[in-house]
Amino acid sequence: MSIETTTAASPAPIKKKGGWGRDKIYSNLSYLTMVLPGAIFLLLFNYLPMPGILLAFKTYRLSRPPEGYWLQNKFFYSLLNSPWSGFENFRYLTLPTNIDSTLTYIRNTVVYNLVFMVIGLVLSVLLAVLIFELTNRFMAKLYHSIFFLPFFISWIVVAYVVYALGSNMGIINSIIVPMGFEKLEVYKTAAAWPIIFVVANIWKYTGNGSIIYLATITGIDRELYEAAAIDGAGKWKQFMHITLPHLIPIIVLLQILAVGRIFGSDFDMFYTLPNGAALVKDVTYTLDVFVYNMLRSSTPIGYPSAAAFVQSVVGFVLILVTNFIVRKTRPELALF
């Protein structure tokens, strides 16, 4: 709540600590008017939902504000006036009946994220390095364009691809069934999904991920490599001693951000690819999907709020901690 009241982009002449002095505002008036639309936008869509994080500690009861009350909004009035419930909502997620699924969804979220982080990093760097080694510039561009294309294809269309490949009459079955294998029913086979997600993730993001590494490699002074080559360093040594050190800053930066999202997930992918197949829930549900499904069911909204709270706050804390560690060890690489 405090954030939005203090940051509300009203250039009201508050004379405090010289921060928003009247003269300062006046001399920057045109700049402030330029910032205004974006500031309002962030206020409405990003800052306004922030106080709602408190839903996690409330027993939310929807009620109408009495006439003349200063806050004439159903949601915020109810948020303020619902009774505090301490950690009751969190306790629900850890009840003996729920603890297994909660842990499963946390495990899915974290493990998928870690796997995507590692594989994504390795493959993106590898792709960038290899593309740069190609002698034919036209082909290098063509390959990269092809690898980048899936980035623009929505997960929903990918869900169609999964269907065309893996459904009963899909391509995989039309190949393996005549060979004498048992029919693969993707939407009923849990073991298939980790593979599908990993492959789909590689397919969609590797080309995109390599862009920044490719740009960095291109910016490295060629003379460094020439000197190394004269000293007898092979490609591998050149990579380890020249390319990689140049990539480290950007790798660290991207990993800090990725760590902050470790409790989040690519909702569209996890939600649409399995297509609501309930039998594979244990390997396809992430916290995001779990929160969404609870939100859309008849459970009190305090429960999904508790899960969403964990996501937001843990992510935020993780980013701060990672950044803190990076700042202590290699200050020049820190995000802030």
Partner 1 sequence: MEKSILSTSGKPGKPLRKVTGKRDMLSISPTANSILNAGFIFFSLLTLIPIWIVVISSITKESSLAANGYRLWPEEFSVAAYKFLFGQGSIVGIAYKNTLISTVAGTVLAVISVGLYAYPLSRPNFKFKGFFTFYAFFTMLFSGGLVSYFMVMRQVLNINDTLWALFLPSSFSAFWVIVMTTFYRANVPNEVIESARMDGAGEWRTLIQIVVPLALPGLATVALFAAIGIWNNFYNCLLLVDEAKYYSLQFTIYTTLNNIRFLLENAEKMPGIVNLSELPSETFRMAMAVVTVGPIIFAYPFFQRYFIRGLTIGAVKG
Q: Is 288 in the site for partner 1 (CB under 8 A)?
A: yes
Q: How far is the CB of 114 from partner 1 (least distance, A)?
A: 20
Give the integer Cα–Cα distance in Å for 77 and 165.
50
- Spatial contact of 314 and 259, defined as CB atoms under 8 Å apart: no
Q: How far is the CB of 35 from partner 1 (least distance, A)?
A: 5
Q: How far is the CB of 294 from partner 1 (least distance, A)?
A: 9
Instruction: Tell me which DSSP letter residue 242 carries.
Output: I
Whose Cβ is closer to partner 1: residue 101's or residue 155's? 155
According to CB under 8 A, which one of 13, 49, 86, 245 is a site residue for partner 1? 49
Instruction: Tell me which DSSP letter residue 43 carries.
Output: I
Q: How far is the CB of 67 from partner 1 (least distance, A)?
A: 18
Q: How far is the CB of 68 from partner 1 (least distance, A)?
A: 20
Within 3-32, which residues bind partner 1 (CB under 8 A)? 7, 19, 24, 27-28, 30-32
Q: Is 239 in the site for partner 1 (CB under 8 A)?
A: no
Within 59-98, which residues bind partner 1 (CB under 8 A)? 73-76
According to CB under 8 A, which one of 10, 46, 63, 94 is a site residue for partner 1? 46
Within 176-235, which residues bind partner 1 (CB under 8 A)? 187, 203, 207-208, 211-212, 214-216, 218-219, 222, 225-226, 229, 235
Within 144-183, which residues bind partner 1 (CB under 8 A)? 144-150, 152-161, 163-165, 167, 169-171, 173-174
- Spatial contact of 66 and 48, defined as CB atoms under 8 Å apart: no
3-state DSSP helix/strand/coil percent for the chain, to nearest 5?
A: 70, 0, 30
Task: Please choose, from the candidates 31, 23, 75, the residue with its C-alpha nearest in 3D space to the C-alpha of residue 9.
Answer: 31
Q: Is 327 in the site for partner 1 (CB under 8 A)?
A: no
According to CB under 8 A, which one of 69, 87, 181, 316 is a site residue for partner 1? 316
Site for partner 1 (CB under 8 A): how many residues?
113
- Spatial contact of 93 and 294, defined as CB atoms under 8 Å apart: no
- Spatial contact of 127 and 203, defined as CB atoms under 8 Å apart: no
State the distance between the two ends of the chain, measured CA to CA, in whole angstroms: 24
Using the contact rule CB under 8 A, the part of the chain among 91-99, 106-114, 189-197, 291-299 near partner 1 is: 291-299
Amino acid of residue 75: F
Within 112-151, which residues bind partner 1 (CB under 8 A)? 130-137, 139-150
Three-state SS at 44 = helix
According to CB under 8 A, which one of 90, 197, 205, 309 is a site residue for partner 1? 309
Whose Cβ is closer to partner 1: residue 99's or residue 134's? 134
Residue 128 CB burial class (10 angstroms; 0-12, 13-18, ≥19) = buried
- Spatial contact of 55 and 302, defined as CB atoms under 8 Å apart: yes
**Distant-in-sequence, close-in-space partners of 324: CB < 8 Å, separation ≥ 6:** none
- Spatial contact of 95 and 180, defined as CB atoms under 8 Å apart: no
Using the contact rule CB under 8 A, the part of the chain among 92-100, 104-112, 114-122, 269-277 near partner 1 is: 269-277
Give the integer Cα–Cα distance in Å for 180 and 167.
17
Using the contact rule CB under 8 A, the part of the chain among 95-103, 104-112, 114-122, 253-261 near partner 1 is: 253-261
Q: How far is the CB of 94 from partner 1 (least distance, A)?
A: 18
Whose Cβ is closer to partner 1: residue 273's or residue 283's? 273
Q: Is 268 in the site for partner 1 (CB under 8 A)?
A: yes
DSSP string of 67-105, one letter each residue: TT-S---HHHHHHHHSPB-TTHHHHHHTSTTTHHHHHHH
Q: How far apart, in Å, are the Cα atoms of 248 and each of 5, 133, 287, 334?
A: 40, 20, 30, 12
Whose Cβ is closer to partner 1: residue 122's or residue 153's? 153
